[in-house]
Structures are given as structure tokens and as C-alpha cells.
Chain A
Amino acid sequence: MAHHHVPRLEDTKTTLDGLGPRLFAVSALIGVIGLAATFGLGLSQGDGLRHFGFSYLINFAFFLSISLGAMFFMPIMYVTRASWNVVMRRLAEVTAAVMPLLAVLAIPVIIFAGQIYGWADPAVAGSHAMSHKAAYLSKNMFILRWVIYFCIWTGYSWFFWKTSVKQDSSGDVGLTRRLENYSGFALMICALSVAAASFDLLMSINPLWFSTMFGVYYWAGGFVTFWAVMTLFTMGLQNTGRMRGIVTPEHFHDYGKAMFAFTFFWGYIAFSQYMLYWYANIPEETHWFLIRSQNGWGMTGMVIIFATFMLPFAGLISRYAKRSRKMLAFWAFWIIVAQWINLYWVVMPQFSDSFVFSPMDVTAFFGIGGLWLAGITKLAMGNSLVPTGDPRLEESLRFENA
């Protein structure tokens, strides 16, 4: 029983040390090859890199959503004074702190905006329906907003990460208080910026469509994926002999609960958004769902209902599944794939009215994902993988899921 044995940090490895440079090199290499392959495949399409732009956007939005999920996670844990998560919080901190790299990775989205976004098409931009917001959805304003988003996100995530790292050596309780004090404000910034960014990044591909729920929809998908990624990160590190015994089935049980809860939450949001537009049946609103419900996209949507909501909901409901390492890993992997399909369905129908799938979509996944993982590894290399100076670490280590 955990009662009698409190795990100790000294019993396991809590740095990346030798693994760091290797993981960095391999994932960076995969990233570079992936992007090069995507670019090559994009050129071979002969469509002025339009398909490339869309494939790139899906995967950029996907990995961005995970880091945004991590960014949301940190303040929510401080603001609620939660302790169970401390032992794994550093992993989330570096996942969020990779923001500057994501800012660089956003540049192609801006370069290819002309191929991706409807508002960049002069014929659309000049139309009556667009006239009132033509200034808002213009390339310059778009760039300006992305600069602002990334300034906010970088400052925010580095503040949390750096402060936490500083605490490793000093163990200063004041730093925890400081983060607690800023967390409420951080959450508000997070909500506003993520919603606005999701409108820009994904909703404005079709500049005539709008949904007040869209920000929540993008955020909810990102947050559930974040938990799945944390599960795989932690298990992966444990498989290499790191963080063993300190992240216990008690903690994994909570990872599972988070995945279960936000799978449900995502389903609730997705259902509400769809149902309300379907029910009122106003053409200005339903056109977005119309192209997504025919010519193969409808079938994709069906897959999403089951893959992102119903099956993981059923699969993660039992305590057994959440505490079984293999089953939890399976569902974490599943959720990552399913949420990726969901973003594919959000983005790709704007490229083609009928279902398309290209190897580019997968190579772009490895391209952006590889660089993203390399960036995270780089950030994780210098410091402990566990926030050793956190005053709640002890409580986190002895955490039990009653």
C-alpha cells in the first residue's frame, strides 16, 4: 500500500541526460525530413502549393493546440492549489514553453495564407458579405494578430516555466505564491487569446462562416489531446528508466480521468455547435456543415463521432482502464489520432469538396511534430524533469486516488 511507502525522487532518474541529445537529434531529423518531404510532395502536386498549405495548417493547428492545452493546464493547477499534478508539471511546462518555435512554424501559414484563407482571395474579400470585416481579415492585420498572440503566449508560458525552474534550486515558496497570484489573470488571457486565435487560424479559412462556440471547440480538442500527450510522454520517459515509481498508477488514474472528462466535454461542445445550426437550418450557417456532410466528408464526420467521443468515452469510463498502463496508453494514442482526424475534417473540406487524403498530410505531421518534440526536448534538457523545489511535491508524491 502507498500508505507505507512514499516514493522518493532519489530512487529514480529525473533528468534527460544522455537521452536528451539523442532524442533531440532524432526528432529534429524526422522533423526536417518530414517537412522536406511535404514540401517536395506539395511541389509535385502542381497546384501552387495549395494542398501543401492545407496539410501544413492542419498539423500546425494540431501541435499548437497541444501546447495551448499545456498553457491552460499550468494556471488552472495553481489557481486551484492542486498538488497531485506537481510530479508531472515540468513536462507540461516545457510543452507550453515551446511557443517561440511554434511562432517560427507559424510563418509558412502566413506565407501560404493566400492559398489557404478565403479572405485572401480578392474576389471573396471584395464581396458584399465581407465588406464590413475586410480590414479585420486582411493579411496585415492577420500578421499583426499572430505577432500579438505569440508574444502573449511566449511571455506567459516562459514566465511559468522559468519561475518553476528557478524554484528547483531555491525551493522558495514565494515563487509558488507568485505564480498563484498571476494564474487567474493568466487564465483570462488564455481564454481570450485562444478563442481569437482559433477564429483566425481555422474559422476564417471560410471567412463567411461563424460560430461563437468555435473557440471553445478548438480549445477543448487541444486540452484532451494535451492529456493524451502527457500520458505518452510520461510513459515513454518511464520506459527509459526515468520518473519511475514517482508517477504512479494513482497519477495515471487522474490522467485518465482528465481524458475521460474532456472527451465528454469535447463531445458536448461539438454536439451543441452542430445541433443548434442543424436545428435552425439557416443557410448562412449550415453551409459549413453541408460540405462536411457529403462526398466522403460525411463519412469522416461519422468516424469522428465514434472515434473522438463515443469509443473513448466508453473505453475510459472504468477505473480499471484508467489504472491499466496498457489500456491507458492505447486510449491516449487513440485520442491523439482521433483529434487529428477531427482537425482534418475541420480544415480539409475547404480545400476540396470531396474527400481527399494525401501522404503529405502524414509527412507534415511528422515534420511539424518532429520539430515540436525536438524543441520540447531541448527545453527539458537543462533541468530536472520534476519541479524539485515545489512545496507541494511531497504531497504530490504521496498522492492517492481514494
Chain B
Amino acid sequence: MKSSVTDLIDNTVDDPTQPQELILGGQDFTSITETVSDIVLERKTPRAWYIAFTFTAGLTGVLFLMIAWLFIKGVGVWGLNNPVGWGWAIVNFVFWVGIGHAGTLISAILFLLRQKWRTSINRFAEAMTIFAVICAGIFPGIHVGRVWVVYWLFPIPNYHHMWPNFRSPLLWDVFAVGTYATVSLLFWYMGMVPDLATLRDRAKGRIQQVVYGALALGWRGSHRHWHRYEKAYLLLAGLATPLVLSVHSVVSFDFATAQLPGWHTTIFPPYFVAGAVFSGFAMVGTLLIPARQWFGLKHIITVHHLENMNKIILATGSMVGFAYATEFFIAWYGGNPNESFAFVNRAFGPYAWAYWIMVTCNVVTPQLFWFKKVRTNIGIMWVMYIFVNIGMWFERFVITVSSLSRDFLPSSWAYYDPTMVDILTFLGSFGLFFTLVLLFIRFLPMVAMAEVKTVMPIADAHSGERRSVGDYHGDIPRHVREVPDGGGK
């Protein structure tokens, strides 16, 4: 027995003559509001949430313990050696920054491209972006050695008249990631204002009313408010679009400006951006699939949405594969023996295991998304997302460690092994990430209610013949009417 309307209706059918409905199950404006805001306001927090929160908060504790240990003992507690002076810290940094990119792509670029399906997933992706950037920001911060002067990264006047080295790509990172975090936060918050006002108006508790009321900035939904909101949204989308490219390009400069074989190649900026979007979508998917299941959002975040995400994963995964191939070709074509050695060493040297994990997870398995059966199978796609997450972490590991561990001077070669502190710090960062995600799910609207409503058929005053007409509250899309047993909520 199929349990819900989304199991009965297949909105992934590709029919050029009739666009598929994005929101299923005979929803109207009220039901969307109720579905989303009740998770925050009405429904009792599931016990599973408390269990999960306890676990992730514990992991976050591990993260802070490890950081404290690092501060007490110094970076010697990590597995760094000579020549591998950059280990998991930079790998984790790049991994987490990359994760964030899906949010910005969905909220900014897909908005500019008028991709209506983004509305069901953009809030979640944007939130995830901010949490990922928080996790990312920790790693370079704790890696500087003398953490008590970490503020020297910023060009602020100080008593030593010390200025940061503006020629260093690591400093460019400070600005790139800082700008990115700021704009992402603004975009996320500003987009949430109408929904926060909805929560304010529906809240019954005094504390909730005051808190959501303050966050809603006096939103009353007047035409003037909407007018300014949409203008600001468009402008922020325009400003955030170059940031999708710039942040991971600057991160790639950390490697590509160096003269180290395997790092110094011109395709790095767009290749890193593609990889970032790739990993970000996989992480959004990893989180969305359980969330839509547990919180009854399957009719809002439908298989159609997930299929679209899988197509983007296929596209960006293939771009990453293209970059791998180009790098290999040019390493041979360029005729620099150090360069070709670096690539052969990656594939067949001591880190071959990591390299082939990377290739399998990033290039090979995503190709399964060519098949519609795979793209629309929830279980398989979730496993594929996990593969992509693994693959993209290994990509950064391969780039960073394989090039460093065997540099120009064979006498200084060394194999890099992480310590327990490295491993626990990384696991701890997942704890922080998931803790923030859980808090977000519990206290903020997971789906952009106001935006979802705009893509529903009933929002279209000029709905043409292909849309079923209905009155403002009772519109039932044709798909649902045609389901034999009524579909039933």
C-alpha cells in the first residue's frame, strides 16, 4: 500500500508539452504554511531529534576538546611532517567550503535562471552553506600556529604596524571566504523574513512571538514590503553569483599559484568550482532525503526536485572528470618530468588507494545518473551522495598530500599519516555541522514557504488552459484528480 500522494504520482515524467507540477498532493497556500510551520511551532519535537542532537553535540564537544588540545600542545599533535606541512586541516577547509557552494548556486544562479524548482530546496541549501562555511572557517584559524594573534589575518591597524601579506593567496582566502559568508548570511536571512513573520503570526507562546517577531523586522506583507523584498532579492542574487565562482577559485589559488607539480595548473579555478558545486549538491541531497521523509515534506520536495539535483551532480561530476583528464594529458604534453611524475605518482604511487577512491566516487559512480531509474530511486541516490561526499574529500586529500609528500628532492620524501587528533577533529566538524542543521530544522522554516507558493498553479492569475483552474483555496491539480483512489493526504 502506497502511503502518500507522492508515491502515486510520478512528476518526473518528461513531457515537453506539459510541464510537471512541482508541488503535489492538492496543496493550497494554507496547507503549505501549515506543513512547514507546524514542524517548528506545533509538532512535538521527535525523540529521534533529541537522540541525534545529543550525539552531534557530543561530537561537537570532541571537536572543541581537540582544538583545546591543539592549542595546548601545538600543531605537533597533527600528523604533519616535513615535507607534508599541509595535512587534514587544509583538506577539511577546502572540503567544507566546497560543500557550501550548492546553497549559493541554488539560491543565486538558479534564481537568475528562473528555475522554479529551486524554491523547494533553496532554504535548506542556503542554511547548509552557512553551516559548512562555519566549519570551514575553523580549520585555517586553528592552523596558524600562534592562534592568539589570528586577528593579524585582517588588515587592522595594530601596535606592531604589522600588515598581512597581500601577495599571499591564503590572505585572499580570508577576504573571499569572509565576503562569501557575509553575503550568504544576508541572503539567507533576508529571504527568510516573510517566513519568520508567518511564524510570528502563528506562534502561540510569548517567547516565540517575541523572538520571531524581532527577527521578522516588522514585516507585514504589504505591497511595498514585497516590492522592496524582491528588488533586494534580485540584487543579492546578482551579487552572490560571481561569489559562486570567486570563492572556490581563490581557494584553488592556494594551490595553483605555487610551483609544486600537481598544484600548478591553469584549469584549477573552474575545476574547483565545478567540484564544489558537485560536492555541495551531494551534501544537500544527503540531508534532504531524510528530512523530507521524517517531516512529511515529500509532496514539497518531490522526486522531480531530487532528479534535477542528480542531473546537476552528473554534469558537475563530469566536469571534474574532464578536468582530471585534461590535467593528465597536459602533464604528459607539457613534457615537464616533475609534472608527469606527480601525476603518475598520484595514480600509481603510495597514495594510489586514495586516488582510485577519488576517481571511483567522483567520476565513475556519478555516471550511473545517466539512468533515469537511478536518478529517481531514493535509496540508490542517497548512497551515491555518500560516495560523492567521500570522493570529494579524497580529491582534496590527493591534491594536497600526494604532491607534498613526494616533492622535488627524493631524499626528503615522506609518507603522511594522520593522528587520532586529526581524525577526531574532522569527525568533530561533522558534529558541529549536524548540530547546526538540527537546530535549523527545529527552530526555523525548512522550506521557503513564501517562495514555494509563487510556483504553485494557484498563484498564477493567468493560468492558461494547461493549468487546472480552481478557486484560491481549493485548487486541485489535474494529476491528483485523476488518481483513482483520490491520492489522499
Contact = CB atoms under 8 A, between A and B. Distances in A.
Interface residues of A, number: 42
B326 interface: yes
Nearest to B270: A216
Interface string A251-277: 000000000000010001100110111
Contacts of A184: 314-315, 370
Contacts of A191: 319, 322
A176 interface: yes
A195 B266 CA distance: 14
B249 A216 contact: no
Nearest to A217: B266
Interface in B301-358: 311, 314-315, 318-319, 322-323, 325-327, 330, 332-336
A402 B311 CA distance: 26
A31 B299 CA distance: 59
B314 A212 contact: no
A107 interface: no
Contact of B17 (A173, A211, A282): A173
Interface stretch (B196-204, B256-264, B480-488): B256-264
A398 to B, nearest CB: 9
A133 B269 contact: no
A223 to B, nearest CB: 14
Nearest to B113: A80
A281 to B, nearest CB: 8
A187 B322 CA distance: 12
A212 B259 contact: no
Given A129-B335, A176-B16, A199-B333, A212 B326 contact: yes
Given A176-B16, A184-B370, A268 B245 contact: yes
Contacts of A275: 253, 257
A276 B257 contact: yes
Interface in A187-213: 187-188, 191-192, 195, 199, 208, 210-213
B257 A280 contact: yes
A177 B16 contact: yes
B242 interface: yes
A361 interface: no
Given A180-B14, A192-B322, A276-B257, A211 B266 contact: yes
B259 A392 contact: no
Contacts of B245: 268
Which of A79, A130, A132 has the largest count of B CB atoms less than 10 A from its CB?
A132
Given A132-B332, A173-B17, A268 B269 contact: yes
A161 B253 CA distance: 41
Interface in A325-359: none
B334 A210 contact: yes
Interface string A165-189: 0000000010011001000100110
Contacts of B14: 81, 177, 180
Which of A214, A216, A276, A284 has the largest count of B CB atoms less than 10 A from its CB?
A276
A370 interface: no
B280 to A, nearest CB: 19
B187 interface: no
A272 B249 contact: yes
B211 interface: no
A215 interface: yes
Given A133-B335, A184-B314, A279-B257, A272 B266 contact: yes
Given A184-B314, A212-B326, A280-B257, A133 B333 contact: yes
Nearest to B337: A132
A188 B258 contact: no
B330 A211 contact: yes
Which of B256, B311, B314 has the largest count of A CB atoms less than 10 A from its CB?
B256
A5 interface: no
Contacts of B11: none
Nearest to B230: A402
A49 to B, nearest CB: 28
A277 B17 contact: no
Contacts of A273: 266
B269 A392 contact: no
B319 to A, nearest CB: 8
A249 interface: no
27 contacts: A129-B335, A132-B332, A133-B332, A136-B333, A173-B15, A173-B17, A184-B314, A184-B315, A187-B315, A188-B322, A191-B319, A195-B322, A195-B326, A210-B330, A212-B265, A212-B267, A216-B267, A216-B270, A268-B249, A268-B269, A272-B268, A275-B253, A276-B257, A280-B258, A280-B264, A284-B336, A391-B16
Q: Which 5 residue pairs across A and B have the least CB separation, nearest first?
A: A212-B267, A213-B266, A210-B334, A391-B16, A272-B269
Interface of B: 14-17, 114, 242, 245, 249, 253, 256-259, 264-270, 311, 314-315, 318-319, 322-323, 325-327, 330, 332-336, 370, 462
Given A188-B322, A211-B330, A216-B267, 17 more contacts: A133-B333, A173-B17, A191-B322, A212-B265, A212-B326, A213-B267, A214-B266, A216-B270, A273-B266, A275-B257, A276-B264, A276-B265, A280-B258, A280-B259, A280-B264, A282-B259, A402-B114
